[in-house]
Structure formats: C-alpha cells, structure tokens
Amino acid sequence: MKTILITAALAAAFGMAPALASETLAKAKQCFACHAVDKELSGPSFKAIAKLHKGTPGAEAKLADKIMKGGAEHWGDKVMPPAEARGIKTSEADAKRLAKWVLRQ
C-alpha cells in the first residue's frame, strides 16, 4: 500500500512539472507584471484569456504570436507591446510554452 501511495505521489508531481516550469517561465518573462492567473491587473487574467480562446482553432499559435509581437484586439484600449519592446527576449519555443500554459488556465 505504501508503495502505491508513493508511486501515485511521484506521478502527480511529475505530471505537474510542465505546468510549474511554464509558470516559472511566465515569471521570468515578467508576464505577472501585467497579468494574474485569476484577476485583471493592467492586462486581462490568464483565465480570461484562456476562456476567450477556448475552442478557437489555432489558438495556441495565435497566442504565441501575440506574446512575441504584442496586440490589442480583444481587450478594449489595453495594448500589450511586443516582448522585445518591453526589453524581454522570448524565443518562439518559449512563446509556445507560455501559450500552452495560459490556455490550460
């Protein structure tokens, strides 16, 4: 029984590892300066972004592109400048990881 519990705990921990890594990446890329998981700051919450894009074909690619290039089409007068304009270097791979993480909220 003890072995089963330990195995289940390890599986749960490793299953969460990608999500934790992506949250760490979001912190490193300063996403939390304007966004929060469940409340609006100067930008929309990650949950609101995920809800907006739910069921949208190509949402991950569109969101990754927006992370890199910026945009303002869904949130009124709120504009997210491109990552580089904010002094943040973000690779396409990192933008995709961030987009996946945001869409899972």
Kindly list the domain boundaries of the chain, sorted by start residue.
Answer: 2-103
Average pLDDT over residues 43-61: 96
Q: Contact 86/77 with Cβ under 8 angstroms?
A: no
Buried b (16+ CB within 10 A) or exposed e, 25-51: bbeebebeeebeeeeeeebbbbbbbbe
| pTM beyond cutoff 0.75 | yes
Q: What is the pLDDT of residues 66-80, one digit of tens each?
A: 999 998 878 888 889
Q: 2-103 maps to which CATH number?
A: 1.10.760.10
